[in-house]
Amino acid sequence: MIKKVLIANRGEIAVRIIRACREMGIETVAVYSEADREALHTQLADEAVCIGPAPSQESYLNMERIISATITSGADAIHTGFGFLSENSKFAELCEKCHITFIGPKSEVIRKMGNKSQARNTMIDAGIPVIPGSSEIVLDIERGRKIAEEIGYPVIIKAVLGGGGKGMRVAYTEEEFLNSFQTAQKEAKVSFGDNSMYIEHFVENPRHIEFQILADKYGNVVHLGERDCSIQENHQKLIEESPCPVLSNTLRRKMGEVAVKAAKAVQYENAGTIEFLLENDNQFYFMEMNTRIQVEHPVTEWVTGLDLIKEQIRIASGFPLSYTQDDIRINGHAIECRINAKSSGKITDVHFPGGEGVRIDTAVYHGYIVPPYYDSMLAKLIVHGKTREDAIAKMRSALGEVIIEGIGTNIDYQYEIIEKM
């Protein structure tokens, strides 16, 4: 069993992992940048190590300093949460070479599924439905134009190593394509250091459905139902819910089976997510696999009763899954709202709601100074009800209670969205 975990992250996910470890009797080591010296995760962990200046490249993305902190502190495992190094195959490989347990899949799987072109071809070989698109990396705009013409407009141009909506553009005509390709490629080079692109048919107004996967080291794989992440802005998720309100039991079973098949095709281990695009005619396509814990994992925890962080640690420790697919039951309905900052600065007052079926995952507190260097998410508000209507009513009430003063937030916008659900 893992004895000591270094959390290579910050914010609410670092706090979430520390609490799970504490409940399991596992020691924790926090790492922090100079900007996060007073951050909550540094106060909750058993130990805290400064790994550099505020910029991510010099701290939370600095592999050598994180490995050094792990070895120096005596931690035998690393949890990367989401973002930063969580889907960096080079970092996972470095952990393997240093005999440090990486709480996640093998580096080879991260590499394969992190490359969208390779992931797509892997899924095609496994018989998983994919969106029509290019089968190879596209570097040249003229080659890209020919592929777009063959696929048929509209098309979406994506960075092969992309994520978070960066290096992604939609083109409805050949004229738009030429400009969109150049823009996306430049953005990909700046954001990911790689200008490799791929092109696929653009599915208009689909639902974004993802299935949560858990897989152990012995070939056992289960899915924990789906999350509907269709409410987005600029390709960034805002609200997630489980289960999806439009999936029939038959379609849910079919998509779940395909998700498990996809995970087995790459010999996946640990927690992961298979993302699909669902059209109005119930045709669905594999979009990508996230080889990490997701921001929205709490909604799955609510409806299944499983603690996904603890499950990750057990799997990484070599334990087999203690349940089969038939044991998984979806109970009630859960919704998550991401509360984001619109500016940096000092939080002068803060209040979060409570009560039955209300959960807050956050790392902010009264007097906390939100730094300008990192992701804008301040908190996740998650509710659970017997039905979707119950959950919506609970979320509406809970959002109305949230107070964060001193900085701007998106709370009012989230409330407007919930009112329309």
Q: Which residues are catalytic?
A: 292
Where are the strands (E) in 330-395, listed by range? 333-340, 345-346, 349-351, 358-362, 369-370, 377-385
Laid out side by side, the sheet with 377-385 consists of: 284-290, 270-278, 207-215, 221-233, 236-242, 333-340, 377-385, 358-362
Q: What angle do CA 289, 93, 10 make, to 5 degrees?
A: 70
In this structure, what is the dihedral angle of CA atoms 140, 144, 146, 149, given to the nearest 10 degrees? -170
Distance (Å, whole) CA 277 – CA 283:
8
Distance (Å, whole) CA 411 – CA 421:
16
The two three-digit tokens of residue 208, written as one number: 């974004």
Whether 265 contacts 128, CB under 8 Å: yes
Distance (Å, whole) CA 256 – CA 273:
11
Q: What is the DSSP letter of 390?
A: H
The two three-digit tokens of residue 188, written as one number: 């990909």
Identify the helix (H) or strand (E) that includes residue 375.
none
Pairing of strands 47-52, 27-33: parallel
Residues 6+ apart with CB under 8 A from 57: none
**SS3 assignment, position 232:** strand
Whether 169 contacts 234, CB under 8 Å: no
Q: What is the DSSP letter of 252?
A: H
Whether 123 contacts 262, CB under 8 Å: yes
When computed from its CA atoms, the radius of gyration of the chain, rounded to whole angstroms, is: 21
SS3 for 122-167 is HHHHCCCCECCECCCCECCHHHHHHHHHHHCCCEEEEECCCCCCCC
